[in-house]
Structure 1
Amino acid sequence: MRPSQETLEFIEFMTRSGPRIDSGLPAAELRAALQERRTSPAGPEVALVRGAEAPGPAGPVPLRHYHPEPGAVLPGIVFFHGGGFVLGDLDSHDHVCRIIAAGTGASVVAVDYRLAPEHPFPAAVEDAFAALRWVAANAGELGIDPGRLAVAGDSAGGNLAAVTAQLARDAGGPGLVFQALVYPVVDWTPDETGERYPSHRENGEDYFLTTGAMEWFCEQYLGSPADAADPRCSPLLAGSLEGLPPALVLTADFDPLRDEGEAYARALAAAGVPATTVRINDGFHGILGFGAFLGPARRAEAAVTAALRHAFASDG
């Protein structure tokens, strides 16, 4: 099976929009090149968008707060951006956060965690959890109902959302009502033959995220190969998944990470955690936020926002 012509043309456009991840450029130069050629859509208007900071283990963690209805107390979503733990920032996912805020009616707090290789694992995890705890502790000032707090993220951000949900459970809080994991990376341990996760082999070329790019991200993020087995790096390897918040795991047909994401959803369900898997037909890694241009992306955005709305309504 091959992607539709519409999807293939969009993948080609995305690939032309910047240098290849595995081009050999140092991380800092790659970031600069991608920022210079950034083509993200604007996203919908949100009534209040402002900067904030959370205290982190290595200094302040920059945040961006989106609130659709200033003065009201709304459900809250702590969002972690994708980019392989090397790329991405508050601007790269501004349109995604606006889509989620507008589509859910919830307040969104985006987290600008430290990036590798300058700050390898577990720096991103430490910043992500520090930000989550700060949002929960300051929910009143942010117009957020602390009893209706969720985490969400795409790709590397999906990993951080899954990991922070585990850390929050183990620490006795903050309490979370949901985790929305969009094509998350959940297992960094080597799958060199693609037998454990066939999508690594089937979708490792031609669909935007490549095997070479995944290997490069792994080299940048892991301080040591042994880190791959740490559950804070590979949440699928946690000793127990019991007691975690309900989850949506969204995957895409032509994504190398498809099978490991779905394996995490099955593992959650086996541990008694309500978990829904939505696979986006004709989708690929990186589609979230491009619904203005691509049908599969619109379906991805609708699935994420609907799951979060349902979680908040059910908890309420």
Structure 2
Amino acid sequence: MRIAGEELPVPQLVAPPPDTPLTLSPPVDREGGTRVYRDVVYANEIGYRPLRMDLMVPAGAEPAPAVVWMHGGGFLLGSRRRSAFSGPPWDALLARGFAVAVVEYRFAFEERFPACVHDAKAAVRWLRRYGADLGLLPHAIGAWGESAGGYLSAFLALDGRQQALDGEVGVTGPSSEVAAAVDWYGPTDFLDMDAQAEGARSIHPHDAPGSPESLLIGGPLQQNPDAARAASPLSYAASSDPAPLLLMHGTKDPYVPYQQSVVLAEAMAAQGAPVTLHLVDGAGHMFEGVDHGPLIQQSVDFLADHLM
């Protein structure tokens, strides 16, 4: 920086620290005794909005295992706020004795891959660092996401040790690994999405420059194959010691072809990795057209088997 010919030092900005149990606002008590910590800042990055989570801790015996929930929205939009779609899974988890951490993450227009993965991992690290003070079991953390959030859940299951994907967002030091994860219809192999959708009803071409996946990596998928592979969970199917992963996908999904879950399940199974695939016959995106109740119950049971 120069003013009137004088060279001045450039200020070095330091991101504010994330919240700690001592800086949180008092929890809100919901009917049934659930404690809700709202707007917890789990990370701050210079130049971006604070990254927040809402943490719900069930009444009853403590400490509780925790599940990180990540919303969908095509890497471009979405909210951590409760909706008619997200509320029932949260309620089912709380009723089973899980704490639920509903997290937000940076979108593609804010920062390219792997920022969203860094954010998801930072949320896990925050819970691992401070969970014991809030009634959680720091070693028993799982993940559950839908669509873009399912994509992030798969990354949490597959890769807990690569520094490039772990990042240095928020709390550093604790592990970002999870004990189990549920991926509801998330993309897993960017380069083959259009080929898999051929002949089926598709909402948008994934290879287009303006597709969510192209925006996430910063250019058209087929023109940037290395970046597309690096941003695809399938590329990490051979990672060492992955967490058990449940993949659930509707066979009539017009946004994310169901083959995306099939190829990841096959690749993990070929490595002897713990993976379960459930294709939901006739269901669209967000399991449109079928009863969500049994799918929620299967997902909660899967997480309970591995976290409780």
Query: Normalising to structure 2: TM-score of the pair?
Result: 0.73
1:110 equivalent to 2:102? Answer yes
Runs of 4+ in 1 over 6 A off after TM superposition: none
Distance 1:231 1:46 in 2: 45
Task: Assess if the C-alpha contact under 8 Å between 1:169 and 1:244 holds in 2.
Answer: no
Give the AA of the match of 1:252: G
1:145 aligns with 2:137: yes
User: Which residue in the other structure is 1:244 paired with?
Assistant: 242
Identity of aligned residues (%): 24
* 1:201 corresponding residue in structure 2: 198
2:183 aligns with 181
CA displacement at 1:77 relative to structure 2: 0.8
Counterparts of 1:220-231 in structure 2 under 5 Å? 220-225=215-220, 226=224, 229=227
Q: CA deviation at 1:133?
A: 1.1
Instruction: Tell me: CA distance 1:258–1:239, structure 2 relative to 1, closer, same or farther (3 Å).
Output: closer
- Once the 2 structures are TM-superposed, how far is the Cα of residue 89 of structure 1 from its aligned partner? 1.1
Q: Corresponding residue for 2:270? A: 270
Q: What residue ranges of structure 2 are gaps of 5+ in the alignment?
A: 1-30, 164-173
Q: Any conservation in 2 of the 1:104–1:306 contact (CA below 8 Å)?
A: no
Corresponding residue for residue 79 of structure 1: 69
In the other structure, the counterpart of 1:48 is 35
* Cα distance in 2 for residues equivalent to 1:220 and 1:92: 27
Amino acid at match of 1:185: P
Change (3 A) 1:157 1:100: farther
**Is contact 1:113–1:128 with CA below 8 Å preserved after alignment?**
yes
Structure 1 pair 187/100, CA: closer, same or farther in 2 (3 Å)? farther
Give distance in 2, aligned partners of 1:81 and 1:234.
Answer: 18
Shifted more, 68-77 versus 269-278: the winner is: 68-77
Q: Would you tell me which structure has more helix in proportion to its own residues?
A: 1
Q: Give a deviation string over 1:192-239, Cα, whole Å, max 9, x none.
A: 4x2xx3xx224434xxxx234785222432213437645552010127
Structure 2 CA distance for partners of 1:214 and 1:261, relative to 1, 3 Å: farther
* Alignment-derived partner of residue 11 in structure 1: none
CA contact (8 A) 1:152 1:180 kept: yes
Distance in 2, matches of 1:55 and 1:118, equals 15
Q: Does structure 1 retain, via aligned residues, the 8 Å contact 2:121–2:176?
A: no
Please say if residues 72 and 147 of structure 2, whose CA atoms lie closer than 8 Å, have aligned partners that are also in contact: yes
Residue 62 of structure 1 is matched in structure 2 by 52
Task: Provide closer, same or farther for how the CA distance between residues 282 and 179 of structure 1 changes in structure 2, counting only shifts above 3 A.
Answer: same
Deviations 1:133-165 (A, max 9, x none): 111111112321122111111111111112233
Higher alpha-carbon Rg: 2
Give the alignment partner of residue 95 of structure 1, picking from 62, 76, 87. Answer: 87
Identify the residue that residue 204 of structure 2 maps to in structure 1.
Answer: 211
Are 1:258 and 2:258 counterparts? yes
- What is aligned with 1:23? none
Aligned CA-pair RMSD:
2.8
Separation of aligned partners in 2, 1:276 and 1:224: 32
